[in-house]
């Protein structure tokens, strides 16, 4: 690799022909193709008999157990539909503990007893498959000589078509478990937690005399990402192997002027976004919002709310489509939380809510004091976050999030709740049992323009520094990393809220039916809970040192690093919660701790080894060459009897020489850790890798730009 590669990449980008406008290549309106590659309700009714269709839809919409006799009919209909959409293969599409999705393709093609080719797909093929469980992370649940695992159809998430240039594949969303029944994926715990929370919501609503209705947990997942040109990406071994730049000096201009956020989208990126949206809409993924994010080369995509399990599946598909479409457009989509040091990283904002029938349980109404169901549900969430905030923090563990959390684009590692002043004031009144006259927070904004339409100020502001913020009719958790599945956080939140709802229901049930006693007990109970758990409510600046000290005084956990944040998996109270609600067994929880710890340490070691290799084989030769030239120039000047410039040459040579010595020392420091990095020396290994970066970044500023072998930040962040 040489600096000439950088020049050629820039020249190629300068010659790049602009892509045609998306409107010119897309003759169909979105409604003409939205959901066409999904085996949705319309397709089910078209390809199945009415009786079989209604049984399947009852499972999808109401959670009814699927009649096993229907599986064969569903498989036949699903195959006919998929073949009509161009599919030649089928796969169980599942989410193992790798953080990605997995699939094994089988052709519909088979031979009959006469040896003639036929297309077939049985109920057995639909319901179950057997991947090798020992080849996926299992935390000791499976080993090589015990390899059997099962994937099983999840009928609550619709099958879909995944297209490729030479055909298409029918993808069947599935769960993944071991031969002995333990979960090996992220979907089973999520589904268990949804099931538990729905039961608890129904129990809670029954206390208030509400008629039985369908409980639904909803999610809207905002996805942030970076785009870089593929020419640059392929010249950066760190990006290729770790997803982030291990070296790179900040350019003079990056995001200080805040001119990228919501700026006009460049045509090349807009074409990419349009193609992404078309693929998402074909899969019934309701992509709604697109825009430039704060950092240069950073963007965001946000869908509308969906049922939680479906939203998680859709987000996994969204990440896959972002990467795939970027490659088609000569770009690379970076989903790492912190691909570039010194500028904003990327998160995944989880917007969570729950409904009962048509009622959003987090809608406060015009006067939240007169909305006891809202106050009860809100108080249950506050209690849940206070008791299990460490578990919610545990859900955000990634190597990338260690660099992101607490910076100016992400909340800190202390889990707290933002409610806004008006709602906090309401809870204070509930706690005291003294209610003042309610003053609506909706006020007109005075802009000073006669032509401006009437604008009303919302009841509360927004707090972008809070990990868990109430935003009007939902909670937004901002600490999840952009590369992560949404499943873990929502799994833990669901279980935590279910337990708090049951605690409230147990206190209220003896008084159900007697409105006077019920109201009195509700007021007393909510006051007690608010007083006990209000320490987790904080409406101020979560980035401030004042909050760090205040949180410590309140006794809130501050789990700064991933290794610290993994420890809640071993906490008895969290084990008790997750086992009580059937989300995890004890052995499954222990396996998660092993999986996440091993993954974290392995990624840290990979980063260090890549950094050492790049420093030794790409940076060191350039520095040695530059140092040699400077030394020769200095000696030649002295031999010629020159005086002017000698001091400058000497200073430059000594500066580069000192950094050369430092570079070799820091490469040796990393090498001294040997072949295996473990939990005990992981933190020291991270510091050694950071020290090497500091030296290389300093060298980038003094080595001849023409000789520097790596694409620089000023190129990757601004040329795409």
Expressed as residue numbers, the domain containing 117 is 34-184
| The pLDDT value given to residue 139 | 78
**Residue 250 domain-assigned (yes or no):** no
Both structure tokens of 95: 């989410």
Residue appearing with tokens 């409105």: 515
Q: Is residue 638 part of a domain?
A: no
* H-run or E-run covering 239: helix 237-242
The pLDDT tens digits for 565-604 are 999 989 999 999 999 999 999 999 999 999 999 999 999 9
Asked if residue 103 belongs to a domain, the reply is yes
* pLDDT band with cut points at 50, 70 and 90 for residue 439: low
Confidence of residue 675 (pLDDT cuts 50, 70, 90): confident
pLDDT-derived band at 459 (thresholds 50, 70, 90) equals: low
- pLDDT > 90: what percent of the chain? 76
Task: Say what the pLDDT of residue 18 is.
Answer: 54
Strand partners, 225: 299
pTM exceeds 0.75, yes or no: yes
Residue 573 near residue 567, CB atoms below 8 Å: no
What was the pLDDT predicted at 366? 86
The pLDDT assigned to 22 comes to: 45
Q: How confident is the model at residue 23 (pLDDT cuts 50, 70, 90)?
A: very low
Residue 408: which pLDDT band, with cuts at 50, 70 and 90?
Answer: low
| 56 in a structural domain | yes
Q: pLDDT (tens digit, 9 = 90+) per residue, 249-263?
A: 999 988 888 888 989
Q: Could you tell me the CATH number of the domain that includes residue 99?
A: 3.10.20.70
Q: Residue 450: pLDDT above 90?
A: no
More confident residue, 238 or 256: 238
Higher-confidence position of 447 and 326: 326
Question: In this predicted structure, what is the pLDDT of residue 81?
Answer: 97
Q: Is residue 38 domain-resident?
A: yes
Return mean pLDDT, the chain.
Answer: 91
Determine the average pLDDT of the residues in 164-188: 94
Query: Tokens 């998402």 — which residue?
Result: 280
The pLDDT value given to residue 25: 46
Higher pLDDT, 67 or 309: 309
- Please name which of 189, 101, 673, 598 lies closest in space to residue 397, comparing C-alpha atoms: 598
pLDDT at 460: 64
pLDDT band, residue 405 (cuts 50/70/90): confident
The dihedral sign for the CA sequence 399, 402, 407, 412: positive
Residue 17, pLDDT above cutoff 50: yes
Q: How far, in Å, CA of 116 to CA of 120, rounded?
A: 12
The confidence score (pLDDT) of residue 433 equals: 85
pLDDT value, residue 463: 75
- 64 part of a folded domain: yes
pLDDT at 144: 61
Cβ(592)–Cβ(186) under 8 Å? no
pLDDT of 32 > 90? The answer is no
pLDDT of 24: 43
Q: For the chain, how many structural domains are there in total?
A: 1
Residue 170 DSSP SS3 = strand
Query: Angle CA(528)–CA(533)–CA(535) in degrees, nearest 5?
Result: 130
Check pLDDT > 80 for residue 113: yes
Q: Is the model's pLDDT at 13 over the cut of 90?
A: no
pLDDT of 131: 86
Of 139-153, 265-279, 551-565, 685-699, the one with minimum mean pLDDT is 139-153
CA-CA distance, 354 to 184, in Å (whole number)?
27
Q: Express each pLDDT in 703-717 by its tens digit.
A: 999 999 999 999 999
Residue 227 lies in a domain: no
pLDDT digits (tens, 9 = 90+) for 261-317: 989 999 999 999 999 999 999 999 999 999 999 999 999 999 999 999 999 999 999
């Amino acid at each position: 690799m040489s600096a000439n590669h950088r020049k050629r990449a820039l020249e190629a980008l300068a010659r790049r022909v602009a892509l045609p406008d998306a409107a010119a290549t897309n003759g169909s309106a979105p409604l003409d193709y939205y959901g066409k590659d999904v085996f949705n309700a319309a397709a089910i009714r078209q390809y199945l008999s009415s009786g079989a269709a209604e049984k399947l839809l009852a499972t999808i919409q109401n959670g009814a157990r699927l009649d096993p006799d229907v599986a064969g009919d569903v498989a036949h209909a699903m195959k006919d539909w998929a073949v009509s959409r161009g599919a030649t293969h089928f796969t169980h599409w599942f989410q193992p503990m790798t953080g990605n999705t997995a699939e094994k393709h089988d052709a519909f093609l088979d031979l009959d007893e006469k040896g003639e080719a036929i297309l077939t797909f049985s109920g057995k093929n639909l319901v179950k498959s057997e991947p090798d469980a020992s080849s996926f992370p299992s935390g000791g649940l499976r080993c090589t000589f015990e390899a059997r695992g099962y994937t099983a159809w999840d009928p609550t998430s619709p099958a879909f078509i995944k297209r490729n240039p030479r055909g298409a594949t029918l993808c069947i969303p599935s769960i993944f478990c071991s031969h002995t029944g333990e979960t090996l994926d992220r979907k089973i715990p999520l589904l268990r937690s949804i099931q538990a929370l729905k039961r608890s919501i129904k129990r809670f609503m029954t206390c208030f005399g509400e008629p039985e209705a369908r409980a639904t947990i909803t999610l809207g997942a905002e996805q942030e990402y970076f785009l870089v040109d593929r020419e640059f990406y392929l010249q950066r071994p760190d990006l290729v192997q770790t997803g982030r730049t291990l070296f790179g000096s900040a350019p003079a201009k990056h995001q200080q002027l805040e001119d990228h956020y919501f700026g006009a989208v460049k045509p090349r990126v807009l074409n990419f976004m349009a193609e992404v949206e078309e693929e998402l809409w074909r899969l019934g993924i309701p992509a709604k919002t697109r825009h430039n994010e704060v950092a240069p080369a950073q963007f965001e995509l946000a869908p509308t709310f969906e049922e939680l399990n479906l939203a998680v599946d859709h987000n996994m598909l969204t990440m896959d489509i972002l990467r795939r479409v970027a490659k088609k457009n000569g770009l690379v989509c970076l989903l790492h939380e912190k691909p570039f040091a010194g500028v904003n990283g990327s998160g995944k904002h989880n917007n969570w809510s729950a409904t009962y029938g048509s009622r959003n349980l987090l809608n406060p109404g015009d006067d939240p004091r007169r909305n006891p169901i809202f106050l009860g549900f809100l108080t249950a969430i506050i209690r849940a976050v206070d008791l299990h905030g460490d578990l919610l923090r545990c859900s955000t563990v990634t190597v990338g999030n260690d660099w992101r959390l607490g910076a100016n684009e992400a909340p800190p590692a202390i889990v707290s709740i933002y409610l806004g002043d008006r709602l906090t004031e309401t809870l204070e009144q509930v706690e005291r049992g003294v209610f003042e006259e309610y003053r609506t927070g909706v006020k007109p904004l005075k802009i000073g323009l006669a032509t401006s339409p009437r604008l009303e100020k919302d009841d509360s502001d927004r707090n972008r520094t809070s990990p868990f913020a109430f935003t009007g009719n939902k909670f937004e958790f901002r600490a999840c990393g952009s590369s992560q599945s949404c499943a873990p956080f929502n799994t833990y939140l669901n279980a935590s809220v279910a337990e708090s709802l049951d605690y409230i229901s147990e206190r209220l049930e003896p008084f159900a039916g007697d409105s006077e006693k019920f109201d009195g007990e509700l007021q007393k109970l909510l006051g007690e809970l608010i007083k006990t758990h209000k320490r987790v409510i904080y409406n101020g600046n979560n980035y401030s040192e004042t909050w760090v000290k205040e949180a410590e005084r309140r006794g809130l956990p501050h789990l700064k690093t991933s290794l610290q944040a993994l420890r809640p998996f071993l906490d008895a109270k969290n084990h008790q919660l997750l086992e009580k609600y059937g989300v995890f067994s004890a052995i499954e929880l222990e396996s998660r701790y092993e999986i996440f710890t091993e993954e974290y340490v392995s990624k840290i070691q990979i980063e260090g080894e890549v950094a050492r290799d790049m420093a030794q084989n790409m940076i060191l030769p350039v520095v040695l060459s530059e140092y040699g030239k400077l030394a020769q120039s200095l000696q030649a000047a002295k031999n010629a009897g020159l005086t002017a410039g000698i001091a400058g040459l000497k200073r430059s040579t000594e500066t580069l020489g000192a950094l050369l010595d430092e570079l070799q020392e820091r490469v040796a420091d990393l090498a001294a850790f040997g072949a295996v990095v473990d939990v005990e020396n992981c933190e020291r290994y991270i510091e050694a890798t950071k020290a090497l970066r500091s030296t290389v970044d300093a060298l980038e500023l003094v080595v001849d730009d023409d000789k520097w072998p790596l694409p620089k930040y000023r190129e990757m962040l601004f040329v795409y």
